[in-house]
């Protein structure tokens, strides 16, 4: 038998060196590891209420034998009407994560620099590195607010892309109108602003709508939104990019695979847009639960920045992996944070009230155990 390493092709060094994406643990794996059947999946910011019933009925119309429309014409027209934007400026992706990859592929040249935030959403860094770019990370303030001055400072170096997730994953806050205007005004013509609004629907009423804030701005931008969170379609993979210019949209389209959004996803997204009342009810319920959880977390004396998303980022005061094990042993999946300097944080998704209660009880036990250890009991 030959040596299998002899058959390894020469890999693209940018790809071979990529860090792994820190995906939440899968429910089947959690069942196997914990031996518990009833898992509370609170790691991936999904919608615990599922999706609109209109989505389920429209899926019966699917003809799996046909290729889906590669241009997503019906969905882009519906999005154009909703957002008051020309469909030619919209590109639909296999999740908004595919749009992050396609934007990087369309825009980045070898040795380009991009700016992202820390803590931040892993794919902003990973997709940039995959395209050979150097990633500069701007920290948040000590109390985990956006450091607008530091972002503006980083823009002076004219990076190819500024990635800004607002509301922030994993931290939770959103930039306010004044901060967003200052950032937009500081974006040089060489820089593309990628405003990732995956959690837009969960934000406060006073938080600016990025698309409106950018409408008259004379800069290149992409605003990302998704059907995975508020609309409850994470499993179907559909998100979209709204661009500042049709030519940018065409370049991003060329950088994706032609039949990237499958037929079920296209039908489902159109049906979901026709039933926004359902989405708004689910979001209202999740926001109320988020605020209830935040109150209990604060009462336990733990720090979690005020969230405008469907999750909380909390400092559990000890190693996030030991907390992950503690929650898993109670049948609860949370996301242990691993970025440098944030290894004592976990991110927990707002689930159904009963799952949130399980989490809060397990959190109180974790806190009790930790203080028992610290006083030497």
Given candidates 159, 239, 305, 351, which one binds ligand PLP under the rule CB under 6 A? Answer: 239
The label of the residue with tokens 């610290």 reads 374
Helices and strands (DSSP H and E) totals, the chain: 14, 12
Stretch that binds ligand PLP, among 73-81, 90-98, 245-253, 281-289 (CB under 6 A): 90-98
* CB 121, min distance to ligand PLP, A: 4
Q: Which is nearer to ligand PLP, 228 or 244 (CB)?
A: 228
Q: Which is nearer to ligand PLP, 220 or 226 (CB)?
A: 226
Given candidates 125, 196, 201, 355, which one binds ligand PLP under the rule CB under 6 A? Answer: 196
Residue 353: CB partners within 8 Å, gap ≥ 6?
Answer: 289
What DSSP designation does 176 have? Answer: -
Q: Residues 326 to 365: which contact ligand PLP by CB under 6 A?
A: none
Token pair of 209, please? 């709508």
* CB 167, min distance to ligand PLP, A: 8
Beta bridge partners of 196: 165, 224
Cα 273 off chain centre by: 20
- For the window 263-302, what string marks contact with ligand PLP as x by the rule CB under 6 A? ----------------------------------------
Given candidates 97, 125, 127, 355, which one binds ligand PLP under the rule CB under 6 A? Answer: 97
Helix residue ranges per DSSP H, the chain: 13-16, 27-34, 53-58, 73-83, 96-107, 122-130, 148-155, 177-186, 210-214, 246-254, 263-273, 276-299, 320-329, 353-374
Rounded to 5 degrees, what are φ and ψ at 70? -65, -20
Token pair of 340, please? 């440098």
Site size for ligand PLP, by CB under 6 A?
Answer: 13
Q: Which is nearer to ligand PLP, 324 or 366 (CB)?
A: 324
Q: Which is nearer to ligand PLP, 169 or 207 (CB)?
A: 169
Token pair of 244, please? 């500042």
Neighbouring CB atoms inside 10 A of 40's CB total 26
Does 116 engage in binding with ligand PLP (CB under 6 A)? no
| Contacts to ligand PLP by CB under 6 A | 45, 95-97, 121, 165, 169, 196, 198, 226, 228, 234, 239
């Amino acid at each position: 038998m030959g040596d299998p390493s002899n058959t390894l092709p020469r890999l693209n060094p940018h790809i071979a060196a990529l860090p792994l994406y820190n995906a939440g643990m899968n429910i089947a794996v959690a069942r196997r590891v914990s031996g518990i059947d009833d898992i509370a999946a609170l790691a991936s910011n999904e919608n615990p209420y599922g999706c609109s019933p209109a989505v389920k009925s429209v899926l019966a119309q699917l003809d799996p034998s046909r290729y889906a429309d590669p241009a997503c014409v019906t969905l882009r027209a519906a999005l154009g009407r909703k957002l008051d934007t020309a469909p030619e400026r919209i590109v639909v992706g296999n999740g908004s994560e595919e749009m992050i990859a396609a934007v990087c592929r369309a825009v980045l040249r070898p040795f380009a620099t991009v700016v992202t935030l820390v803590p931040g959403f892993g794919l902003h860094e990973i997709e940039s590195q995959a395209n050979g770019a150097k990633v500069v990370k701007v920290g948040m303030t000590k109390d985990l607010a956006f450091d607008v001055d530091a972002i503006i400072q980083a823009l002076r170096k004219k990076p190819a892309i500024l990635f800004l997730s607002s509301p922030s994953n994993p931290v939770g806050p959103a930039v306010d109108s004044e901060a967003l205007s200052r950032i937009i005004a500081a974006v040089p013509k060489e820089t593309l602003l990628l405003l990732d609004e995956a959690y837009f629907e969960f934000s406060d009423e006073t938080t600016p709508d990025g698309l409106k804030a950018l409408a008259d701005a004379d800069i290149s931008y992409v605003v990302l939104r998704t059907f995975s969170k508020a609309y409850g379609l994470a499993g179907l993979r559909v998100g979209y990019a709204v661009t500042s210019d049709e030519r940018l949209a065409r370049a991003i389209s060329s950088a994706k695979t032609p039949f990237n959004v499958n037929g079920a996803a296209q039908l489902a997204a159109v049906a979901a847009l026709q039933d926004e009342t359902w989405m708004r009810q689910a979001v209202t319920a999740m926001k109320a639960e988020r605020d209830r959880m935040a109150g209990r977390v604060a009462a336990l004396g733990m720090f979690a920045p005020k969230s405008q998303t469907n999750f909380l980022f909390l400092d559990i005061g000890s190693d996030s992996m030991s907390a992950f094990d503690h929650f898993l042993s109670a049948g609860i999946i949370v996301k242990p944070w691993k970025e440098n300097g944030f290894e004592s944080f976990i991110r927990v998704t707002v689930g159904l009230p009963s799952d949130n209660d399980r989490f809060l009880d397990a959190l109180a036990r974790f806190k009790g155990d930790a203080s028992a250890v610290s006083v030497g009991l």
